Amino acid sequence: MKITRRNFVKTGALVGGGVITNQIVSSKIFGQDADKGELIAVSTWGGTVKSSEKAYEFLKNGKNSLDAIEAGIRVAENDPTNSSVGYGGLPDEDGIVTLDASIMDWIGNAGSVAAMEGIKNPISVAKLVMQRTKHVMLAGDGAKKFALQNGFKEENLLTENSRKAWEEWKKKNPHGVNRVDEKNHDTIGMLAIDNSFNLSGGVSTSGMAWKIHGRVGDSPIIGAALFVDNEVGGAVSTGNGEFVMRTVGSFLVVEKMREGFSPQEACEYAIKRIYKTAKQNKDIQVGYLAVNKKSEVGAFSLYDGFSYAVAKGSETKVVKSKFLA
């Protein structure tokens, strides 16, 4: 069975009651030295397990964590069946697919793109913004122009399935402003540690389905959906970006780890901060995923249904996240 967020959630629901299960959905032996312990790649949502596997393959081959993150996220961006990331992502209320992405390395360098149209791999554009410019973020037409100048080609990102979904939504919401699909955005966030013990992270998304054209979520905002500090650890978010931006969530998670919290405790702290404002709204979801320098992993979400993939040692597994309410 192909693991998607939705069928994973169904499987998780059978276990029920907030009981945490470690469900191994695939495993792979990477070689004799697989258990060095430090190499790790993690990604938000069980459906992105192939991204974690790809990143881990890179790490095993001695590539650095930045390249591993890019390679892993590109797998999700290229997958037309992933309706929240890259090619096949659900469009905004005007039927236009706009993408946000960010990347950060162990030195503290960062790059991002926001509301970019027509380029399939925003994570690679974000990496080039980081490496080839003095800026951190490029947005809209400027981001696209930069991508085209750097060898990316323009493509139609709206698949037939996404177009049909948009047309159905449009029929039901002819004046559609703000009638977003709150649950339909399963952003990929990834963290990886390489064999030099260096940590990098990245995030990529098509954002909230049916959003107002021009809306930018948390994904390209450094400190919101992504933060890495090589002395401490890294964190990524998924879900309703507005709630993450308002609390500068990933930065908060990393700063709590700096104070001595475990990744799990830090994610729980940041989710509780959101819950103070979000408790009236059960339609939203936010999940954090964090890794510290000891390759310990933590994750927590507002509500049931969040999962993540971990590639470490000799196996890749999908884990159902703990949740608050």
Residues that bind ligand GLY (CB under 6 A): 185, 187, 205, 207-208, 217-219, 225, 238-241
Sheet holding 110-116, edge to edge: 22-27, 315-320, 307-312, 40-44, 188-193, 199-205, 99-104, 110-116, 137-139
Supply angle C-alpha 156, 200, 49, rounded to 5: 60
C-alpha closest to that of 307 among 325, 323, 291: 323
Is position 133 annotated as part of the catalytic site? no
Phi, psi of 143 (to 5 degrees): -65, -40
Provide the 3-class DSSP secondary structure of residue 34.
helix
Q: Which helix (H) or strand (E) holds 42?
A: strand 40-44
The Cα 86–Cα 75 span in angstroms is: 10
- How many of the other CB atoms lie within 10 Å of CB of 160? 9
Instruction: Please identify, using beta-carbon distances, which residue of 90 and 199 lies nearer to ligand GLY.
Output: 90
Instruction: Please identify, using beta-carbon distances, which residue of 58 and 166 lies nearer to ligand GLY.
Output: 166
The Cα 22–Cα 67 span in angstroms is: 28
Residue nearest to ligand GLY (CB): 217
The Cα 207–Cα 115 span in angstroms is: 9
Identified catalytic residue from 11, 44, 98, 187:
187
- Please list, in sequence order, all residues whose beta carbon lies within 8 angstroms of the beta carbon of residue 311, skipping any fewer than 6 positions away: 40, 41, 42, 52, 53, 55, 56
Token reading at 311: 């590639």
C-alpha closest to that of 117 among 256, 216, 221: 216
Name residue 20's amino acid.
Answer: I
Judge contact between 315 and 72, C-beta under 8 A.
Answer: no
Q: Supply the residues annotated as catalytic.
A: 187
